């Protein structure tokens, strides 16, 4: 084909062939991408790399294998961790969670917070929490325990073949155990080739302001919130 199809899509088109199969270089390129995505799921979150002061908590999933098989345990705090969280009165709590990709946190959590924190300097923020073996909904229990009006969870997303370190952000108003995903707002695909830190921080700040004003989050907020202009 005379035209270069690769110009038009990130999909793996126009691959070099041998017989009916892909050529060796293409095969290995795929295997490398898969290996990186696989490894991303098993990298342990290095809490020491989060240089901001924080409280370290764990979910009830004691290891990665349990975490993958038991999403319910990844949404529940371990007993020891629950005792660590003191209740106060806060506008928001921020939780950094490994989720399915610790590299997403290693690469993007701090730069994102650096872009966000100046925007919410006047907010009463709960002490920062770092959570291990954590699903998104673990933030509900953490936010409730801290006495925060909303919880913002920064979490490693399911690793894609070409995006092993993508970070997702979930905002939930009035966090309580048992909140559903329909009650959250999400900004996904924060990574070098995806949504920039500045844009993500801007969108998140807009959502936080709108959520605080309207005292809700989720589908209703997404549809008709008057978001701040860039």
Partner 1 sequence: MSLRELFAKASPARSGDELAGIAARTAEERVRAQMTLADLPLKSILADPVIPYESDEVTRLICDTHDAAAFAPIAHLTVGGFRDWLLSDDATTESLAALAPGITPEMAAAVSKLMRVQDLIAVGAKCRVVTRFRSTIGLPGRMSTRLQPNHPTDDLQGIAASILDGLSLGSGDAVIGVNPASDNVASTESLLRLLDAIRERYAIPTQTCVLAHVTTTMEALRRGAPVDLVFQSIAGTEAANSAFGVTLAMLDEAHLAALELGRGENVMYFETGQGSALSANAHHGVDQQTCEARAYAVARRYRPLLVNTVVGFIGPEYLYNGKQIQRAGLEDHFCGKLLGLPMGCDICYTNHAEADQDDMDALLTLLAVAGCTYIMGVPGADDVMLHYQSTSFHDALYVRNVLGLRPAPEFEAWLERRPELSPAPWLLT
Interface with partner 1, residue 163, by CB under 8 A:
yes
Of residues 6 and 89, the one with the C-beta less far from partner 1:
6
Interface with partner 1, residue 12, by CB under 8 A:
yes
Interface with partner 1, residue 20, by CB under 8 A:
yes
C-alpha torsion angle, residues 106, 110, 112, 114 (rounded to 10): -170
Angular region, 16: left φ>0, alpha ψ -120 to 50, beta rest: beta
Among 25, 28, 34, 228, binds partner 1 (CB under 8 A): 34
Interface with partner 1, residue 2, by CB under 8 A:
yes
Sites for partner 1 among residues 102-131 (CB under 8 A): none
Nearest-approach distance from CB 200 to partner 1, in angstroms: 17
Interface with partner 1, residue 182, by CB under 8 A:
no
Residues 6+ apart with CB under 8 A from 204: 116, 152, 169, 171, 187
Among 103, 159, 175, 218, binds partner 1 (CB under 8 A): 159
Q: Decide: 127 and 50 in contact? Cβ < 8 Å.
A: no
- As a whole number of angstroms, the distance between CA 217 and CA 213 comes to 10
**Nearest alpha-carbon partner for 77 in 146, 127, 126, 158:** 146
Which one of 65-73, 88-96, 196-204, 218-226 is the stretch in contact with partner 1 (CB under 8 A)?
65-73
């Amino acid at each position: 084909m005379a035209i270069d199809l690769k110009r038009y899509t990130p999909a793996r088109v126009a691959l070099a062939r041998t017989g009916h199969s892909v050529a060796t270089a293409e095969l290995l390129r795929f295997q490398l991408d898969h290996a990186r995505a696989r490894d991303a799921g098993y990298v342990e979150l290095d809490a020491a790399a989060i240089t901001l002061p924080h409280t370290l908590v764990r979910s009830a999933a004691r290891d990665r294998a349990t975490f993958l098989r038991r999403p319910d345990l990844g949404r529940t705090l371990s007993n020891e961790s629950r005792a660590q969280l003191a209740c106060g009165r806060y506008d928001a709590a921020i939780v950094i969670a490994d989720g399915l990709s610790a590299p997403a946190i290693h690469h993007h959590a701090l730069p994102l917070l650096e872009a966000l924190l100046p925007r919410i300097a006047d907010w009463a923020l709960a002490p920062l929490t770092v959570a291990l073996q954590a699903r998104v909904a673990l933030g509900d229990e953490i936010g409730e325990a801290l006495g925060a009006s909303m919880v913002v969870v920064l979490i490693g997303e399911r690793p894609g073949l070409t995006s092993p370190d993508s970070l997702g952000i979930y905002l939930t108003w009035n966090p309580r155990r048992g909140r559903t995903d329909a009650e959250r707002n999400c900004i996904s695909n924060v990574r070098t080739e995806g949504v920039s830190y500045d844009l993500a921080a801007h969108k998140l700040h807009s959502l936080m302001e709108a959520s605080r004003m309207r005292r809700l989050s989720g589908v209703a907020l997404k549809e008709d919130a008057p978001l701040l202009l860039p």
